Amino acid sequence: MFSGFMASTWEVASIVAVVAGVIGFFVVLRGAAFAADAIPQGAFTGAAAASLIGVNTLIGLAVASLAGALGISWLGRRGRRDVATALILVAMLGLGALFLSFSSEYAPEIYALLFGEVLGVSATEIAPVAILGGLCVVVTLLLFRPLLLSSLMPELAEARGVRARRMELVFLIVLALATSMTLPVTGALLIFSLMIGPPAAARSVTSRPLPAMLLSVFIALIVVWLSIAAAYQTNWPVGFFVGTLGAVCYAAGRGWAALRRRRSVRASALPGPSGTGAPAASVRV
C-alpha cells in the first residue's frame, strides 16, 4: 500500500488535501461553493478542445479554468453571482459537449477529469501539482487578512481600502489555478468534495479563522488518507469514500456545534449566587 506506484498516490493526494483545506476554508466562508463546483467541471471543455487540436491537456485546463473564473467575476458584477456562475457553467458544458461530439476517442480522458485517477498517479505528476498547489497556498496566506475581511465584513473592507471586486477576482483566479492542475489526478468531483466537506466541518467546530483553516487541512488529510486506504482494500472508487467521509465529518461538526450550544444555554439558565440567572461558572466554591 505504501510502495511502488502507491507512494506517488499518497504524496499527490496529501498535497491536494492541503491545498483544498486552505482554499476551501475561504470557499465556505465566502459562500462560493457553486463556483468551486462550476470551475473544475467546466474546465473539461478546455481539455476536450486541447485534445482536438493536439495541445497539452493541462494548457487547455488552465485556460478554461481561468476563463471560467474571469467570466464569473465579470458577470457577477452586473448581477447575482449564483446566476452568473450557472450561466458560465452551462456555456462551458455546452462547448465541451460540442467538442466531444467531434470524436469519441477522448471519453476515457474526460472520465478521468471528472472522477480522477488518484490510484494511478505517476511520479512525474508530483512536481507540477506541488508547485502550483504551493503557489496557490502562498498567495492565499499572503492575502489572508484582506481576504478574510472582505469575506466577513465587505463594507469595513471597502472603508479600509480593500476592494471587494478585486479580492473576488483574485480568489477566483487562485481557485481556478488550484483546480486546473489537480483535475487530471483527483478529478472535479474529488477536489470539490475536499474543498467543501472538511472546511465546512472545521467551521462548525470553531469560528476562529486560523484554527478553523488548520483544522480544515487536518480533516482533509485524514479524509484523503482513509479514502485511499479504503479504496486500495476494497477496489471501490476513491471519490465515493472522499465524498462520504466528508459528509460524515460535516455532520459530526454540526452535531458538535449543536451540543455545544445546548450546553451553553443550560449553563446560562442556571441561577447565580443571588438567583439572578448569572452563569454557574461565576460561583466560587
CA dihedral 128, 215, 254, 29 (to 10 degrees): -60
Taking a C-beta distance cutoff of 8 angstroms, is the pair 113, 180 a contact? no
pTM above 0.75, yes or no: yes
For residue 173, the domain's CATH number is 1.10.3470.10
* Per-residue confidence in pLDDT tens, the chain, 285 aa: 666 667 888 888 899 899 999 999 999 998 888 888 888 877 778 877 887 787 777 788 888 888 888 888 888 877 678 888 888 888 888 887 788 777 665 556 666 666 666 666 777 778 888 888 899 999 999 999 999 988 888 888 888 888 888 888 889 899 888 887 677 666 777 788 889 999 999 998 888 999 999 999 999 999 999 988 888 888 887 878 888 898 899 999 889 888 888 888 887 776 655 445 544 444 333
Cα 107 from chain centroid?
25
Is residue 198, in this structure, part of any structural domain at all? Answer: yes
End-to-end CA distance of the chain: 56
In a domain, 32, yes or no: yes
Measured CA to CA in angstroms, residue 277 lies from 174, 259, 269 at distances of: 49, 21, 6
Q: Is the residue at 62 inside a domain?
A: yes
Residue 125 has what DSSP assignment?
G
DSSP 284: -
* Domain that includes residue 57, residue range: 5-273
Q: Into how many domains does the chain fold?
A: 1
Q: Is 104 helix (H, G, I), strand (E, B) or coil?
A: coil
- Supply φ then ψ for residue 2, to 5 degrees: -110, 15
Domain-located, residue 280 = no
Residue with cell 477522448: 106
Q: Specify whether the CB–CB gap between 118 and 238 falls below 8 A.
A: yes
Please check whether residue 281 lies inside any domain of the structure.
Answer: no
Is residue 227 domain-resident? yes
In-domain check, residue 279 = no
C-alpha–C-alpha distance, residues 19 and 195, integer Å: 9
**Burial, 85: exposed, middle or buried (Cβ in 10 Å; 0-12, 13-18, 19+)?**
buried
- Asked if the structure places residue 29 within a domain, the reply is yes
